Amino acid sequence: MKSKATAKRILGEVPLSADIYWLLRQSEGAPTKNYYLNKLDDALPGWVDQVTNSRAQSNVKGKKILIFAALHYWISHITLLGSTLAGLGHDVHAMYLPFARWEESINRFDLRRQDLYTKSVLQKADSILHPISMLDVKVKSDYLPESLTHAVEEISLRDTQYTEQREKVDQESPLYRLRLARNRDAAQRALHWMMEESPEIVVIPNGSILEMGIVYEVAKYLGIPTITYEFGEQRNRIWLALDKEVMRQETDDLWAAFKDRPIPDEELEKVRDLFNSRQNADLWKNFSRQWQVVPSQGGDRVRQDLGLDERPVVVLAANVIGDSLTLDRQLFSGSMTEWIERTVQIFAERSDLQLVVRIHPGEKYTKGPSVADTVKKTLHTIPENIHLISADDQMNTYDLLEIADLGLVYTTTVGLEMAMSGVPVVVVGQTHYRNKGFTYDPNTWEEYLSLLTSFAQDQESYILSPERVEQAWQYAYVFFFEYPTPFPWPMPKFWKELDEWPIERVLSSEGMVEYGDTFRYLVGDPRGWMSL
């Protein structure tokens, strides 16, 4: 195996060696087991026919669009999305990087093979869009503006944290150096191409990590309108952001448009049904995630199981360490880990309060450090007033809300549901529902400590008013039912959804009634509630 890797490394330095190998062996299809576009290869001829037929009937004056992705599964998705935008009359340039994995290095020989394979697949779409390998973009200089150099470093750190699922990482590690080199190279190539080609709009999945995040930063630097998109737990829905990182879920404009509008009964009922399903460990309608593993057992059962007494109960609902929704979301703490460390130290000296730390059930599926280990390492001996609920503990989080007098959260959506349940909640990370009128939002350690001290002295004054609880319910409706928009092909199961919604159906009058607004938003048209 070592000799084979050595041979590939040597061959990678020989001009055209991979090209010749590909010409001799291209009938074998995908060059490696980790990089494959088989379904895309089979589907593209049909997509081209459907798009060509639609284009002949289109009178839309299209935009020049750059759509970009790295990794083979995202390449398939942007090709589908780009083909559809081409069917709507746009001039689509689909740029890609042919990597199989973001966290592993690859020799030049295999990278070239993957690039040639991708080109052979995407050339079938030449008549409807412009496939571009980023590797073919030549740059004349290694220079990057200072702001982009800083962005490369920040995203490389985020990539490393996300991969290792930890917040404290070694910036001299091979992984960080790999991400730094790839991200810098992508920034240089993207900057050169955009300056030369001047796209009217850039469309990117995610936009916060990896080379997708880099291309977003380059477009922002050049002032090119950019759409970032991602998918949550709702089927056939997409999250979209214009000139923002979609994973930050910024809802200020949306909330400003809806917050003063009375919530209709039918909307309230939708939120109530969703909340009940989450509480009772059921799936609800088009939501694909089951939030609890066991139905509610009631607050009295939780008090008994944890041995809680009559002292006020404070529930800290943790995120998974290194989760994408926690990275770079710090406000006054250096990280979520530091916030947890400082918080348990505070409560170790407050025997008048009981702290329950609910470790996120998602920890069962991660490889990073546990919140439990963080707490134990910080305190050495856990005092009687601090209780840990492990990730695999068969306890329903919503039973904790029933007994909580105060909630502490970083970015988890449980904080929103605490407020919906009438529990006052302190939000310490940058999350979408912070500063919306129904949470406590400290900006410094001093403000945070003052809130805890004040609560210990007078819990009654922290009880949420009915108006604030109603605001939380109204915001929940807005976030779950207005923020996402209909979309036919969410990741990762878009191939299955194509059976019901092929391109030609989406491009039909029926499809435009269902999804037309979304495809207009995808090319930069503002949503009705956006401030410009």
- The three-point CA angle 86-89-91 to 5° equals 60
Q: Encode 341-363: b = buried (16+ Cβ within 10 Å), e = exposed.
A: bbbbebbbebeebbbbbbbbbeb
CA within 13 Å, CB half, 14: 11
- 233: nearest Cα among 493, 474, 409: 493
Q: Is residue 79 exposed (0-12), middle (13-18) or buried (19+ Cβ within 10 Å)?
A: buried
* Angstrom distance (rounded) from CA 349 to CA 375: 14
Partners of 426 in the β-ladder: 408, 440
Predicted pLDDT of residue 14: 52
Domains parsed from the chain with CATH numbers:
257-482 (3.40.50.2000)
Q: Where are the alpha helices (DSSP H) in 58-145?
A: 72-87, 108-122
Predicted pLDDT of residue 293: 45
Q: How many residues does the structure list for the chain?
A: 532
What are the residue ranges in the chain where pLDDT is below 70?
1-28, 56-60, 278-298, 530-532
* Angstrom distance (rounded) from CA 437 to CA 251: 13
Partners of 203 in the β-ladder: 67, 227
Q: What is the 3-state secondary structure (H, E, C) of 401-434?
A: HHHCCEEEECCCCHHHHHHHCCCCEEECECCCCC
Whether pTM > 0.95 for this model: the answer is no
Tens of pLDDT, residue by residue over 231-252, are: 987 788 999 999 999 999 999 9
Predicted pLDDT of residue 153: 97
- 18: nearest Cα among 93, 10, 287, 530: 10
Give the chain's radius of gyration (CA, Å): 25
CA trace torsion 84, 85, 86, 91 (10° rounding): -160
Predicted pLDDT of residue 13: 54
Q: Is residue 227 exposed (0-12), middle (13-18) or buried (19+ Cβ within 10 Å)?
A: buried
Predicted pLDDT of residue 211: 97
Predicted pLDDT of residue 16: 59
Predicted pLDDT of residue 7: 46
DSSP 482: I
241 in Cβ contact with 227 (< 8 Å)? yes
- The three-point CA angle 222-228-229 to 5° equals 170
Q: Is residue 431 exposed (0-12), middle (13-18) or buried (19+ Cβ within 10 Å)?
A: buried
* Angstrom distance (rounded) from CA 520 to CA 183: 30
Predicted pLDDT of residue 355: 96
Q: Where do we find the tokens 């200020």? A: 252
Predicted pLDDT of residue 267: 85
Predicted pLDDT of residue 32: 76
DSSP 360: -
Predicted pLDDT of residue 284: 34
Predicted pLDDT of residue 212: 97
* Angstrom distance (rounded) from CA 97 to CA 490: 21
* Angstrom distance (rounded) from CA 376 to CA 385: 14
* Angstrom distance (rounded) from CA 371 to CA 381: 15
Q: Which helix (H) or strand (E) holds 128?
A: none
